[in-house]
């Protein structure tokens, strides 16, 4: 029996305020394994709120969210954190790397809480970090500091970090927003290669050309999610 990776039914998110902000209004969405979905919408429309819910960083105020068939509402905060660590990879616009740690350390730290901290676990984590860096084309940069890397290299490190838990879902919030257009293309190509190899990808962008590269696009406007007609 195989479940969709993500299933939103009537998902709403109201920030309490005052005044209350209806960031998402009764959203329905199904994302199947291997899908590549882009999310577009103007600033303030609810894109990051959507991603935060999908990534279990926040809880909806209404509706039901099944992740890999699991009802996320019944989970404790600790169970949600564990599930997030194992099933979700995040890539953000601003990389969020530790500046004084090497690429390998930045990537290895991603699984600190899921893989344990003993000597054996640490060595294993570093080996997996090298593998993840090799997957994003950065084997030769494993000892470099983020401060000595280009924006494109930093985003590749962030993608390697996201891959550490072997997630079922890769969530990207404007991953090319801080990159020049040539670098943005190569980062997108990398994300699309991961998708070709089976990774389910949800990618937020305000660039309609980027959005059009996906299998599917949904638009958010004032918290209302609408799937655009397939091309
Ligand atoms: P986007 O990512 O599309 O720019 P957001 O999801 O960040 O939009 O925000 C959607 C709406 O919710 C906006 O009106 C924003 O001001 C509001 N909002 C976002 N985060 C919070 C928060 N933590 N508390 C209250 N309001 C918020
Ligand atoms: Mg946002």
Domains, the chain, in order of start with CATH, read: 6-99+155-227 (3.40.50.300)
What's CA 128's distance to the chain center, in Å?
A: 19
For atom 6 of ligand 1, the residue with the nearest CA is: 46
Mutation test of ligand 1: which of 21, 50, 58, 223 has the most ligand atoms closer than 8 Å to its C-beta?
21
From first to last of its 231 residues, the chain has per-residue pLDDT tens of: 689 999 999 999 999 989 999 999 999 999 999 999 999 999 999 999 999 999 999 999 999 999 999 999 999 999 999 999 889 999 999 999 999 999 999 999 876 656 566 677 778 889 999 999 999 999 999 999 999 999 999 999 999 999 998 898 999 999 999 999 999 999 999 999 999 999 999 999 988 889 999 999 999 999 999 988 665
User: Which residues are paired to 30 by β-bridges?
Assistant: 7
Ion ligand 2 residues within 5 Å by Cβ: 47-48
**Given this model, what pLDDT does residue 113 score?**
58
pLDDT score of 2: 85
Q: What is the DSSP letter of 140?
A: G
Residue 117: its pLDDT value, please? 63
Residue 189 has phi, psi (to 5 degrees) of: -60, -40
Residue ranges around ligand 1 (CB below 6 Å): 15, 21, 23, 41, 43-49
Integer angstrom CA distances of residue 122 from 22, 44, 97, 104, 118: 43, 41, 19, 12, 6
CA dist list (Å): 11 to 6, 45, 53: 12, 15, 9
Q: At what angle do helices 181-196 and 151-163 cross, to 10 degrees?
A: 20
Q: Which of 6, 81, 94, 10 is nearest to 51 (CA)?
A: 6
* pLDDT value, residue 91: 95
Q: What pLDDT is stored for residue 165 in this prediction? A: 82
Say if residues 192 and 170 touch (Cβ distance below 8 Å).
no
Which of 10-18's residues contact partners 24+ apart within 8 Å by CB, and which partners? 10/62, 10/63, 10/64, 11/53, 11/60, 11/62, 11/63, 11/64, 11/65, 12/60, 12/61, 12/62, 12/63, 13/46, 13/49, 13/53, 13/58, 13/60, 13/61, 13/62, 13/223, 14/61, 14/62
Kindly report the protein residue whose alpha carbon is nearest to atom 27 of ligand 1: 15
């Amino acid at each position: 029996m195989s479940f969709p990776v993500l299933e939103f039914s009537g998902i709403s998110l109201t920030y309490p305020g005052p005044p209350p902000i209806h960031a998402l209004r009764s959203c329905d969405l199904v994302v199947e394994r291997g899908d590549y979905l882009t999310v577009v919408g103007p600033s303030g429309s609810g894109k990051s709120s959507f991603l935060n819910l999908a990534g279990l960083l926040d809880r909806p105020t209404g509706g039901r969210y099944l992740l890999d068939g699991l009802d996320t509402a019944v989970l404790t905060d600790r169970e949600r954190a564990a599930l997030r660590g194992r099933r979700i990879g995040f890539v953000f616009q601003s990389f969020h790397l530790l500046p004084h740690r090497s690429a390998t350390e930045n990537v290895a730290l991603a699984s600190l809480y899921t893989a344990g901290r003993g000597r054996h676990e640490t060595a294993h984590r570093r080996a997996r970090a090298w593998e993840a860096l090799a997957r994003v084309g950065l084997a030769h940069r494993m000892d470099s500091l983020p401060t000595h890397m280009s924006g494109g290299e930093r985003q590749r490190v962030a993608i390697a970090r996201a891959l550490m838990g072997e997630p079922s879902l890769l969530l990207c919030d404007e991953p090319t927003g801080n990159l020049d257009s040539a670098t943005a293309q190569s980062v997108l190509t990398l994300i699309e290669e991961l998708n070709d190899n089976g990774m389910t990808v949800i990618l937020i962008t305000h660039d309609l050309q980027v959005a059009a590269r996906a299998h599917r696009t949904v638009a958010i406007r004032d918290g209302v999610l609408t799937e655009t007609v397939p091309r």
